[in-house]
Structure 1
Amino acid sequence: MMINLSIADNQPVVMHGIKSYFKSHSEISVLDTFNHLRELELSLDARKAGVLLIDLELEGLHSIKSLKKMVEEHPKTKILVYTSASEKLFGVTSLKAGASGFISKKETLLKVEQAILQIAEGKTYFSDLVHKSVISSARMNNEERMYRKLSSREKEVLSYLINGKKNNEISELLNLNEKTISTYKLRLLNKLNVTNLIDLVNKAKTLEIV
């Protein structure tokens, strides 16, 4: 089945080069080209492109929210971001907006071809850097949620533990039973998903509590 490709890019030379590359392709056919977001949106409303190759610097595309809107309104169109914009800055946000892939304009047209074929099959095309960044971000968000779940007293005990205070010292400072401090310590280990005091301190540093 032929993949209908639409190209949205400010640069005529880029669009001409891509059209020429896929002119006689057995699986990919260039449906149309656009140099402004408004024209692109009207076309997507009128007919469905299988894959949309789009530059984040497209005229009229002022926010990643526009990309997200296209994904939501045209779920059958797979969006492949093709741009000279930094992957480090926009790779993750493109993925989170619902794009099916991100490829730099520094890559060869062969790579672009591979990316189009891959996402047309329902897969995604993102670099390992983007995937690792998303996983790292998700992990950090989970840890931040863990920290927010701590009670005021638990945070107070944690701050003393971070500063090297012993259980008996903390009990005197807070005017609490030493056994109670031990209970708070166990809760902290459990809530922050660590098994010892050293890891607890390191987790606190990761969360920038200290």
Structure 2
Amino acid sequence: MGYKILIADDHETVRHSVQANIKLRYSDSIIIQANSCKEVSEEIENQNFDLLILDLNMDHINPLTFISEILEKHKKLKILIFSMYAVETFGVRLMKMGVKGYANKEEPITNLMRGIDNVLNGFNYWSSQISSLLVDQLENNQSTNLIDMLSDRELEVMLLLINGNTQKEISNTLSIHTSTIATYKNRILEKLNLKSFADLVLFAARNDLII
């Protein structure tokens, strides 16, 4: 059966590799590539897709906001995340939003293909760990994952900080004052029970947040 699939990633080699593997499995499929959030928006406005395979780290745009906007306009679109971030970073939030699955780029490509098979056939593709985290939230109204304690904006600021952006650069990217960035930074440290930025970097490294 032929599907129409959109692959969105800002690395050309990744897009071509994913496309080649999909073509081996679904030779009749129509595959379109996008290298930016703008191109993704344009493509899904102009045609219907059976599946969007989406990287989370494009254009310094908050991926949670971007995905929320996509699903608000295109409720039937199935989204499968393919990212370097550990699934625990965004997994519960994305599952609640309606994203269908998550595959990590550091895992074998067969895992991504298994996710594609599942989503195209009407199933989800989440690790058992994410399912457990979600159950914890629903049963205890609180997650055992510290990252889930952060707001979407705090998570966004943290990821920009730990990946080498200065407060001024983050201020320009997010269009907020540098003093606000400092406030977010202090909140992040407090919620994660950390004392310094060095502790935050170490926490990020241990949780595969630095890409």
Pair in the same fold by TM > 0.5: yes
Paired amino acid for 1:108 = P
Contact 2:51/2:79 (8 A) holds in 1: yes
1:103 CA drift (Å): 0.9
| Residue number in structure 2 paired with 1:5 | 5
- Taking only aligned residues, the RMSD between alpha carbons, in angstroms, comes to 1.8
Q: Where do 1:95-114 residues align within 5 Å?
A: 95-114=95-114
1:16 CA drift (Å): 1.3
Q: Where do 1:108-127 residues align within 5 Å?
A: 108-127=108-127
Contact 2:52/2:77 (8 A) holds in 1: yes
1:25-56: CA deviation from partner (whole Å, max 9, x where unpaired):
33672521111101111110110110110011
2: CA distance, partners of 1:28 / 1:129: 34
1:36-85: CA deviation from partner (whole Å, max 9, x where unpaired):
10111111011011011001102253240211221221122210011001
What is the DSSP-based 3-state SS (H/G/I as helix, E as strand, rest coil) of the residue aligned with 2:58? Answer: coil
| Residue number in structure 2 paired with 1:20 | 20
1: CA distance, partners of 2:132 / 2:40: 32
1:100-146: CA deviation from partner (whole Å, max 9, x where unpaired):
0011111222221111111112211000010000010111128xxxx
Which consecutive unaligned segments of at least 5 residues does structure 1 have? 143-210
| Residue number in structure 2 paired with 1:45 | 45
User: Structure 1 pair 93/39, CA: closer, same or farther in 2 (3 Å)?
Assistant: same
Which consecutive unaligned segments of at least 5 residues does structure 2 have? 143-211
2: CA distance, partners of 1:26 / 1:68: 28
Q: Where do 1:160-179 residues align within 5 Å?
A: none
User: Structure 1 pair 60/44, CA: closer, same or farther in 2 (3 Å)?
Assistant: farther
Contact 1:5/1:28 (8 A) holds in 2: no
Contact 1:48/1:76 (8 A) holds in 2: no
1: CA distance, partners of 2:10 / 2:91: 20
Deviates more, 1:32-41 or 1:17-26: 17-26
Q: Where do 1:1-210 residues align within 5 Å?
A: 1-26=1-26, 29-59=29-59, 61-141=61-141
User: Structure 1 pair 94/28, CA: closer, same or farther in 2 (3 Å)?
Assistant: farther
User: Structure 1 pair 5/28, CA: closer, same or farther in 2 (3 Å)?
Assistant: farther
What is the DSSP-based 3-state SS (H/G/I as helix, E as strand, rest coil) of the residue aligned with 2:111? Answer: helix
Q: Output the TM-score relative to the length of structure 1.
A: 0.63
User: Structure 1 pair 19/133, CA: closer, same or farther in 2 (3 Å)?
Assistant: same
Count of residues paired in the alignment: 142
What is the DSSP-based 3-state SS (H/G/I as helix, E as strand, rest coil) of the residue aligned with 1:13? Answer: helix
Runs ≥4 in structure 1, deviation > 6 angstroms? Answer: none
2: CA distance, partners of 1:113 / 1:28: 16
2: CA distance, partners of 1:48 / 1:10: 21
Rg larger in structure: 1
Contact 1:5/1:50 (8 A) holds in 2: yes
2: CA distance, partners of 1:13 / 1:103: 17
Contact 2:5/2:32 (8 A) holds in 1: yes
